[in-house]
Amino acid sequence: MNQSQFGESAQAYLEKILAILDIDASVVEEELDERTVCFRIDCRADDARMLIGRNGKTLEALQFVVRQMCKSNAIDHGPFVIDVLDYRARRRRTLEESSKEGAVAVLNGEVERVDLDPMSPYERRLVHNYLQEHFPELSSKSEGEGPDRHIVISFEGEPSEDTGSKHEEEDDAPDFSDDAEGDEPDNIE
């Protein structure tokens, strides 16, 4: 099954779930990058609050269910995300702002390290990438287990030729498909 057929199936599953929940919404498929597809749900604000849930937990669960439905029907798919009324873009801006505040505090010598709030693997990957791009002189790594897993920002000095970057890469292409709890591995630790 090609990516187009997958998109049609995933979108159909998502539309069925929304119909069962009696939510009047439209689902649009968009490419986020060359590998990742986004299924954007446009609906009323009250329905959006229900679909997103507290700290995006319901949205993550919805994404997990659609992924499992595709997997159980042997539909080959690549990474995808489900978004509701641009929640993920707003959340990304919030994560970047808190990361920037922590990074500036470390750079100014106010603290030696900053522990950010726990977040999902997807969000940790966004933060690692943001810090690597905007604050290359800082180190970011994930600590903790399960729902308590979070990012720690610290100062490690300039990278040397033999040590390279302080943002260690685990996977160049994380696999979103196999994780039973939807807890994708971090791309950069």
pLDDT value for 107: 94
How far apart are alpha carbons 68 and 60 in whole angstroms? 12
**Listed residues 58, 85, 112: the one ending a domain:** 85
Same domain, residue pair 127 and 49? no
Mean per-residue pLDDT over the chain, rounded: 80
How far apart are alpha carbons 183 and 107 in whole angstroms? 31
pLDDT value for 139: 94
Which residues on adjacent β-strands are paired with residue 115? 152
Same domain, residue pair 22 and 76? yes
CATH number for the domain spanning 25: value is 3.30.300.20
pLDDT value for 168: 41
What is the value of pTM for the model shown?
0.69
- Regions in the chain scoring below 50 on pLDDT: 1-5, 159-189
H-assigned helices in the chain: 3-20, 45-52, 57-72, 87-107, 121-134
**Domain of residue 116, residue span:** 87-189
CB 180 within 8 A of CB 71: no
Give the containing element (helix H, strand E) for 39. Answer: strand 37-42
Number of domains in the chain: 2
